[in-house]
């Protein structure tokens, strides 16, 4: 396990994850080799295997970490009215997506490259996150402040719309993040018939 002189495990491990995330998001999982990741970090390719069994495990770890962090970050206040909760979700999802755009890209574009077992695990975490929004929509329907035909489909459509902000938003552009959140909140309200 050749490590570059002066490198340390507690530093090298996170550097490998950061480099892999950046390279996978920029070039695609299939186009990135373990050698490229090693070169980016400044270690020999064999040294990577002290930190991950293989490239598939690295992809899964990046996606799982992202989804677990996302689930832990979202805090719903079920005592609040459904439309207040929905607005909080909209603004949270946009802000989180923009703060972690490479992870978001990976979670959507590279899901297809996971093994069957890993795909099931990540899909379950994604489903857990989607259910948070479904709960808000369901409560809104019960309170008659939200009108959607299909809660599951509506939740997935809203998340897709919110996540797409990572495709076009640029800090310092025409709209700041607050204004983007305002506009998306208006779109979300319209989408759920509020």
| The pair of three-digit structure tokens given for residue 179, joined into one six-digit string | 């204004």
d(CA 38, CA 45): 5
Q: Please give the pLDDT value at position 4.
A: 47
Its pTM stands at 0.88
* Domains of the chain as residue ranges with CATH: 1-52 (1.10.10.60), 54-192 (1.10.357.10)
Percentage of the chain modeled with pLDDT above 90: 84
From the number of C-beta atoms within 10 Å of its C-beta (0-12, 13-18, 19+), residue 182 rates as: middle
Element (H, E) at 60: helix 55-73
187: pLDDT confidence band, cut at 50, 70 and 90?
Answer: very high
pLDDT digits (tens, 9 = 90+) for 83-117: 999 999 999 999 999 999 999 999 988 999 999 99
The region that residue 172 occupies, defined by phi over 0 for left and psi between -120 and 50 for alpha, beta otherwise, is left
- Average pLDDT score over residue span 132-149: 97
| pLDDT tens figures, 61-91 | 999 999 999 999 999 999 999 999 999 999 9
For every residue of 132-155, DSSP letters joined together read HHHHHHHHHHHTTS---S-HHHHH
């Amino acid at each position: 396990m050749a490590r570059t002189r002066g490198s340390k495990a507690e530093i090298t491990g996170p550097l490998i994850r950061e480099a892999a995330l950046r390279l996978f998001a920029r070039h695609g999982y299939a186009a990135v080799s373990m050698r490229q990741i090693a070169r980016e970090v400044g270690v020999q390719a064999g040294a990577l295997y002290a930190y991950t069994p293989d490239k598939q495990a690295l992809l899964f770890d990046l996606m799982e970490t992202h989804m677990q962090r996302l689930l832990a970050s979202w805090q719903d206040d079920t005592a609040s009215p459904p439309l207040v909760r929905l607005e909080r979700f909209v603004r949270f999802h946009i802000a989180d997506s923009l703060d972690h755009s490479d992870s978001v890209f990976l979670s959507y574009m590279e899901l297809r490259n996971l093994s069957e077992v890993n795909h099931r695990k990540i899909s379950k975490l994604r489903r857990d996150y989607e259910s948070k929004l479904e709960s808000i929509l369901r409560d809104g329907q019960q309170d008659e402040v939200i009108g959607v035909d299909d809660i599951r489909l509506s939740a997935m459509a809203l998340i897709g719309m919110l996540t797409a902000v990572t495709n076009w938003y640029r800090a310092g552009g025409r709209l700041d993040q607050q204004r983007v959140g305002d506009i998306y909140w208006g779109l979300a309200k319209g989408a759920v018939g509020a």
